[in-house]
Amino acid sequence: MNKVTKLTMFSFSLLLCVIAAGCFVIGTITQPSTIPAMQQFTSTVVVSVEGQTDATPHYGIVGLKVPNDFTIDSVWMTGGYAGAYTFLHPDSSDREPGGQVDFWTDSLEARYPSGANMKWVVYQSNTSYLTIVDTLNVNLMVKMRAGSTLGTYQIGYFVSDAALDFTDPTYYSTSLNNSLQVVAQVPVELTSFTALQTKNGVQLNWETATETNNNRFEIERSSDNKNFVVTGTLSGKGTTTQVTKYSYTDKVNAGKYYYRLKQIDFNGSFEYSKTIEVDFSVPQDFVLSQNYPNPFNPSTTLSFGLPVQSNVTFAVYNAAGELVKTISQGTLQAGTHTFSFDASNLTTGIYFYNLSAQGIDGSEFSKTAKMLLLK
């Protein structure tokens, strides 16, 4: 139904309400156009409530036409008709407040058939409403969860003041064709998983492009690539389509290690990432490695190896020999040390990085390497 048609119906219904006094009229509806399978969402229906001329208590009625495998978690209103709503069981006349039960589901199904793949479910306000003199706009809120069956569905909404009269359109309002597409779940899409050797141990970095129902990551380590143990846990982001970056540092001694991620959903299902290898062994000599990538923009990885515990100065200089940044200064243990250098605030050009080290055994080492920043 297009916007013009909705506005015309709304105006016509409102006129009838003024004449017959006492009705609910659906105005605007806000719901997603697409939703991943099994994901929860909330629909908001703006309802105009016209004042009643009689003093008889009225119960608000809400009907929802949804796919068979959808779950309705809660229904409530905010505003002049505020309060929670209780599910009206279609097979028992004494399960809901206010009485009058089987009528609603049967009558909705007869007048607005849901079809084989859809169903009508009905809710009734927990409290009755007395005479309301002024017209109000209230929000009907429906929190529901999509099922597992993919496809496009026309979600239906029905509201009434429980007048039990389908012959008079001033007593109720419907909006039956609100398109909603249920699509496949967005996976936990792991776009990168890397390991860096730092002075504090092995730093693991990974990134996700999307996540669905992601409870947590368990970081697993192995020394033989067969037997893994959990060395740490990081919470996931639940469901998101935003890029998310994670980092975890595992403090280990020198050696060769294998790492993998175990991604666990809220329902307990899980998947493993690829396994990556890190050689954290002690080099035989002092080593200053070429940065990677090179050329780079804006960051690059710098690393060096120490055969013994050493007092180190590791710094970056520009082409004029001026100090740009001291990356590390102090005592470092024997092993391979890796650092990330960010040149976001620097201009294109050639830069040099220098390692000066004095080992506890009296050995000395100094070497400079060149790198190119291209922006």
In 3-state terms, what secondary structure has residue 117? coil
pLDDT of residue 164: 57
pLDDT of residue 135: 61
pLDDT of residue 131: 56
Does 36 sit behind a cis peptide bond, omega within 30 degrees of 0 on the bond before it?
no
In 3-state terms, what secondary structure has residue 17? helix
Going by C-alpha positions, the residue among 291, 293, 286 that lies closest to residue 303 is: 291
pLDDT of residue 6: 34
Give the distance, in angstroms, between the CA of residue 348 and the centroid of all CA atoms in the same chain: 38
Going by C-alpha positions, the residue among 166, 175, 26 that lies closest to residue 107 is: 166
Residue 282 has, within 13 A of its CA and on its CB side, a CA count of 10
pLDDT of residue 21: 39
Residue found by looking up tokens 């990556």 in the block: 276
Q: Are 186 and 211 in contact (CB under 8 A)?
A: yes
Which stretches of the chain score pLDDT less than 50?
Answer: 1-22, 94, 96, 98-100
- Can you say whether residue 103 is alpha, beta or left, with left for phi > 0 and alpha for psi between -120 and 50 degrees? alpha
Handedness of CA 34, 38, 41, 46 (dihedral sign): positive
Q: Are 353 and 328 in contact (CB under 8 A)?
A: no
Give the distance, in angstroms, between the CA of residue 194 and the centroid of all CA atoms in the same chain: 23
pLDDT of residue 16: 37
**Global pTM exceeds 0.85:** no
Q: Which two tokens mark 42?
A: 């909330």
337 has which bridge partners? 304
Phi, psi of 121 (to 5 degrees): -125, 145
pLDDT of residue 350: 96
pLDDT of residue 132: 55
pLDDT of residue 10: 34
pLDDT of residue 12: 35
| pLDDT tens track for 192-211 | 898 877 767 888 999 998 88
